[in-house]
Amino acid sequence: MTKIVFHKQGEDFVRIECDGHTGYANRGEDIVCAAVSALLQGAALGVRKVAGVKAEYRVNEEKGSLFLALPKNLGEREQHDCNVILKTLLVSVSDLQEGYSEYIEVEVK
């Protein structure tokens, strides 16, 4: 199972942690894992390349983990842009979870 945890301070996203493979199918054939990976990677690219935020970012493909942490004291515009990107990610993975709840867990803290 893949667990995705969104960490917030007030209304602002500050960190995303994702751990585990979905286990929907064998490696290389797991469409659910591929969908989760594409959404997470797209959001990380959005934060880093589009919003231009120097976020802490780590990926471990073997473990199926991703970590993205926004720096403290972002400007208002940067925080807004990151919130839009990460809220879109939350809505997307939550929608995916509805169809594959045995394989994906989403939590907001």
Chain segment 5-38, per-residue pLDDT in tens = 999 999 999 999 999 999 999 988 999 999 999 9
Mean pLDDT computed over every residue of the chain: 96
pLDDT band at 56 (very low <50, low <70, confident <90, very high): very high
- Tell me the whole-structure pTM to 2 decimals: 0.93
pLDDT at 28: 86
The phi-psi region of residue 17 (left if phi > 0; otherwise alpha if psi is between -120 and 50; otherwise beta) is: beta
Token pair, residue 84, equals: 């839009």
Is the distance from CB of 6 to CB of 70 less than 8 angstroms? no
Domain count, the chain: 1
The boundaries of the domain holding residue 69 are: 2-108
State the CATH number of the domain containing residue 86. 3.30.70.1490
pLDDT above 90 (res 64): no
Q: Hunting for tokens 């594409």 — which residue is that?
A: 38
